[in-house]
């Protein structure tokens, strides 16, 4: 059980890169999954990208979405990063990588029932 708590706490600490309102809305959407069966989750979300066994009767499944455009077009990724122009390099005809918007959502499933969830990213909605 302590492993689960440490893992969930670690994932929750990384949620700080989202705006508070967006994360509240997404959190409310995910709350509805508590108590639902894993088969309902798989039917709606598809096959998870990652499955991590937590104990004999519980597992954490994760879904990851990454795109070059924000799903809500409301903010730029990493907009709180500090840029110092003296350190930028010319790209010599090679276009720079576009910004990446992502969201990772994980569910803890115990005995086939969703008991908890967590999410992290700059484009969870």
- 77-117 confidence digits (pLDDT tens): 555 444 454 555 555 666 566 668 888 999 999 999 999 99
Is pTM beyond 0.75? Reply is no
Full domain range(s) for residue 109:
2-121
- 26-83 confidence digits (pLDDT tens): 899 999 999 999 999 999 999 999 999 999 999 999 999 888 766 655 555 555 444 4
Q: What is the 3-state secondary structure (H, E, C) of the chain?
A: CHHHHHHHHHHHHHHHHCCHHHHHHHHHHHHCCCCCEHHHHHHHHCCCCEEEECCCCEEEEEEEEEECCCCCCCCCCCCCCCCCHHHCCCCCCCCCCCCCEEEEEEEEEECCEEEEEEEEECCCC
If one counts the domains in the chain, the total is 1
């Amino acid at each position: 059980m302590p492993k689960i708590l440490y893992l969930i706490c670690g994932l929750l600490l990384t949620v700080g890169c989202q705006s508070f309102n967006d994360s509240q809305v997404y959190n409310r959407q995910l709350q509805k999954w508590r108590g639902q069966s894993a088969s309902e989750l798989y039917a709606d979300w598809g096959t998870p990208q990652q499955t991590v066994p937590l104990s004999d009767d519980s597992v954490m499944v994760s879904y990851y979405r990454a795109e070059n455009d924000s799903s809500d077009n409301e903010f730029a990724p990493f907009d709180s990063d500090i840029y110092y122009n003296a350190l930028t390099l010319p790209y010599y005809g090679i276009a720079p990588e576009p910004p990446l918007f992502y969201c990772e959502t994980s569910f803890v499933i115990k005995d086939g029932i969703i008991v908890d969830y967590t999410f992290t990213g700059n484009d969870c909605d």
